[in-house]
Structure 1
Amino acid sequence: MNPIKIKKALSIALLLFSASASAQTVGVKDVHDIVQKLTDQLVEVYPFPEISAKYQQAILRNEKAGRYVGLSEDSLAKKLTEDLRTVHKDVHLRVMKNEETYKRLSAPSGRRSDDSTELKRMKTQNYGFKSVQIDGAKSTAYIDIPGPFWGTQESFEMASAAMNMAAHSKYVILDIRHNPGGTGHMGRFIASYFYSPGNEKFYLNGFYKNRKMDEQEWTYSYVPGRRNPDAKVYILVGPGTASASEGLAYAMQKLGRATIVGDTTAGAGIAGSFVPLKRNLIAFVPVKMVVAPHSDEGWEGTGVIPDVFSGDEDALEIARKLIEKDRKDQ
C-alpha cells in the first residue's frame, strides 16, 4: 500500500479516536454545573443539614482541587458517589449515568413519557412477585417477593393476588432477601393484610428537613380481597434487603406482628427520588428519614436486626423449622 495513503489513514483514525475520547470526557463547565446542582439539591432537601453541609464542602473542595477533570460520564458518577460516601455512608445517595431516565426526567412534565425500559423490566420481573407456594397439609404459604416494590396498578394487583392466595394459611412466609426496595406504599399494602379492618396501625413515620412536613404512615383501612389477621408471619431478610423492603420488615418487627429471620439488612433508611444533573447523569437524593412511630430511630446505617439469625443455614429452612415447632406445640 502507498505510504502516503497509510499515513493519511492513520491520521484520520487518530482524529476520530481523539474526537471520540473528547466527546466522552466531561468538560470543566459541565463538571461545575453537575457539582453545583448536586450540592445545591443536597443542601436544599437532605433531612440532616449538618451532613448536607459536609457533603457540599467536600465535593466543592474536590472540584477546586481538579479531582473531577478529564473523567468520562461513568467515571465522574462513580467518583462523586465515592466522595459523598466518604463523608457519610448513605447507601441511597448515589450518582449514576442513565441516558433514558435523564431524558425522561429532563423533559417538561406535560411531555414526559413512560420509561419503556422500566416497563419492560416490570413485566419481565412479574411486577416484583416471583411465586406463591401453598402447603395445605401444614397450612403454610411461602411468597417470594424479590421486588422491587413498584407502585403501579399492576404491581398492587399482583400483590393482592399473592396475598389472597395465602389468605387461608395459618403460617405465611414473606421472602424479601433479594428485594432492593422501591415504594413504601407496597410494604404498607402487604402489611395491611395482616390486620383486621378498623385495626389500622401506625406503621412508620417519615420526617424531612422541614419537620413541619412529617408524615405518619398507617396500614390501610381497605385492601382488596380477604385479610389474614390471625396468621403467624415470618419475614426472610438479608444484605440484599434494602430501603422500602427493609421498612416492611422493620415495621412488622416493631409492631410485634412478624418474626424476622435471616441476616442484617442493607441499612438504607432515607427515602428519596432521582434528580437529573447534566450529561446523562442523575442522582438519587434522599429526602425523607423513615423511623419507627414515636421515635427518631430507624434502620438507616444499622439495618434491620433479625430476631433469628440464619448464619450459614438457609433462612427459609429455619423458618420452616420454627413453623414445625409451633405446630407440634399446639
Structure 2
Amino acid sequence: MDTAAIIDRTRELLAEHYVFPDVARELDALLAARLAAGAYGVTTPEELGALVTADLQSVNGDRHLRLKFHSDQVPDGDDSAVMQQVARSFELSLGGVPHLRRLAGGVVHLELAPSLFPVEWAAEGITAAFTLASRGDALIIDLRANTGGDPETVALVCSHLLDEPTHLNTMYDRAGEVSRQFWSQSHVPGRRFGGAKPVYVLTSGTTFSGAEELAYDLQQLGRATVVGERTGGGAHPRRGFTVHPHLEATIPTARAVNPVSGTNWELVGVAPDITVPAADALDRAHHEALAELDRRGGDSPVLAEVRAALRAGRSVVEPVR
C-alpha cells in the first residue's frame, strides 16, 4: 500500500472539488503534516481509511467527507465504488421499497430503504408503491433505515404528496453559485397520494443525507409530521473517487439550501416534530394518524371502529390481518 500516494491524491481531490475551499486548504495542510509526522504508519487500507476519515472530519465535522474502506475491490473511476454497492443493495431491497402494508384504520405504512436509489432505477417501484398507497386515508413513510440517495428520487416522492409544482431544494457549488434546483413534478405516473391527507415520516439517528432531505423538505413545507429521532446531519451531496482498490475518497461538491428555511440540516440533523425512540416511532405515528383522521371525521366502518377503540383506550396499532 503506497500510503503517501493515497494521501497526496486525496489532497488533490480536496483542493479541486471540496465545496468549501477554505476548509479544503486547512485539511490539505493537516493531511500533509500528519503524513510527515508518521501518523499514517499503518499496514491495512481499513486502518488508513479510519485514521484519514477522522482527520478529514476534524475541522468542520462534515460526515460526507471520508476516506471510505470497501472490503470488496472497487473499480477505478468517479463514483464507481458507491455505484457498485448501490446496485447490490437495490437488488436485495425490492428496488428500495422493502415494505408496504395497510394498518388498522386505513393507514398505510410504506418503508423506503436502505436508500433512495437513482431515480432511473427506483421510479417504477416508487410509482407502484404510491399507486397502492393512494387508496389509504393516511400515510406513514418509514425512513428509519434509510441512509441517503438521489435528490431526483426525493423530488419524485414529494411529487406524489404535493398537488402543485413546488420548489424543494437548491444546490450551490463551491463558488457560491446555483448549480441545480429541484422541484416536485406537475405529473406523476400512477396515482398521487395527494396534498391533503395526513402524512407522517419516521426517522432515526441512522437516517442520513438524501433521506434527511426528504424528511426536511416535507417538514418545512408543512406537508408531513416527522416522528422519531433527530437524524444524522449530512446535507452536502458528494462524489466518490477511487484512490486505492479498497479506498474511496468521498468529497462533498455542493451544499443544499432549503427555500423555506434558507438553510439545511448539516451537522444539526432534522429535528422531529414528535420525539420518541426510533423503535416506538411507528406505533406513535399510527396513533397520531388515527387521532387526526378521527378529528377530520368520516363514515368509514373501519374508522368508526377505530374511533370507538381510541375512546375506550384500547390499542389500535396492530395491522389488519
| TM-score (normalised: structure 2) | 0.85
Q: Deviations over 1:258-300 (max 9, x none)?
A: 1111110000111111111135321111111112116652000
Contact 2:75–2:81 (Cα < 8 Å) also in 1: no
The one-letter code of the counterpart of 1:224 is P
Relative to structure 1, is the Cα distance of residues 124 and 257 closer, same or farther in structure 2, using a 3 angstrom cutoff?
Answer: same
The one-letter code of the counterpart of 1:206 is M
Match for residue 238 of structure 2 among 268, 272, 279 = 272
- Cα distance in 1 for partners of 2:81, 2:242 equals 15
Larger radius of gyration: 1
Structure 1 residue aligned with 2:99 = 131
Match of 1:328, SS state, is helix
Structure 2 residue aligned with 1:191 = 158
Match for residue 239 of structure 1 among 198, 201, 205 = 205
Relative to structure 1, is the Cα distance of residues 206 and 54 closer, same or farther in structure 2, using a 3 angstrom cutoff?
Answer: same
Match for residue 56 of structure 1 among 7, 15, 28 = 28
Match for residue 320 of structure 1 among 266, 286, 290 = 286
Contact 1:206–1:214 (Cα < 8 Å) also in 2: yes
* Post-superposition offset of 1:214: 2.8
Match of 1:87, SS state, is coil
Relative to structure 1, is the Cα distance of residues 322 and 117 closer, same or farther in structure 2, using a 3 angstrom cutoff?
Answer: closer
Match of 2:134, SS state, is coil
Structure 1 position 83 matched with structure 2 position 49? no
Give runs of aligned pairs for residues 169-180 of structure 1, distance below 5 A. 169-180=136-147
Contact 1:45–1:208 (Cα < 8 Å) also in 2: no
Relative to structure 1, is the Cα distance of residues 113 and 210 closer, same or farther in structure 2, using a 3 angstrom cutoff?
Answer: closer
Structure 2 residue aligned with 1:12 = none
Match of 1:204, SS state, is strand
The one-letter code of the counterpart of 1:166 is A
* Post-superposition offset of 1:238: 1.1
Match of 1:105, SS state, is coil
The one-letter code of the counterpart of 1:228 is F
Relative to structure 1, is the Cα distance of residues 293 and 128 closer, same or farther in structure 2, using a 3 angstrom cutoff?
Answer: same
Relative to structure 1, is the Cα distance of residues 296 and 39 closer, same or farther in structure 2, using a 3 angstrom cutoff?
Answer: farther
Higher RCO (CA 8 Å, separation ≥ 6 residues): 2
Structure 2 residue aligned with 1:7 = none
Structure 1 position 94 matched with structure 2 position 60? no
* Post-superposition offset of 1:102: 3.3
- Cα distance in 2 for partners of 1:69, 1:120 equals 33
Give runs of aligned pairs for residues 118-157 of structure 1, distance below 5 A. 118-135=86-103, 138-151=105-118, 153-157=120-124
Match of 1:235, SS state, is strand
- Cα distance in 2 for partners of 1:295, 1:223 equals 26
The one-letter code of the counterpart of 1:102 is V
Which is further off, 202-211 or 43-52? 43-52
Contact 1:274–1:283 (Cα < 8 Å) also in 2: yes
- Cα distance in 2 for partners of 1:323, 1:70 equals 53
Q: Deviations over 1:64-101 (max 9, x none)?
A: 11111343221111111111122221111111233756
* Post-superposition offset of 1:62: 0.2
Q: Deviations over 1:90-145 (max 9, x none)?
A: 11111123375632427xx9xx899666434321111211111124x622111011
Give runs of aligned pairs for residues 1-330 of structure 1, distance below 5 A. 26=1, 30-98=2-70, 102-105=74-77, 118-135=86-103, 138-151=105-118, 153-196=120-163, 199-229=164-194, 230-293=196-259, 296-311=262-277, 314-330=280-296
The one-letter code of the counterpart of 1:140 is V
Structure 1 residue aligned with 2:310 = none
Contact 1:143–1:175 (Cα < 8 Å) also in 2: yes
Q: Deviations over 1:26-77 (max 9, x none)?
A: 2xxx222211221121122212222222211111110111111343221111
Contact 1:172–1:233 (Cα < 8 Å) also in 2: yes
CA RMSD of aligned residues (A): 2.4
- Cα distance in 1 for partners of 2:62, 2:205 equals 15
Match of 1:102, SS state, is coil
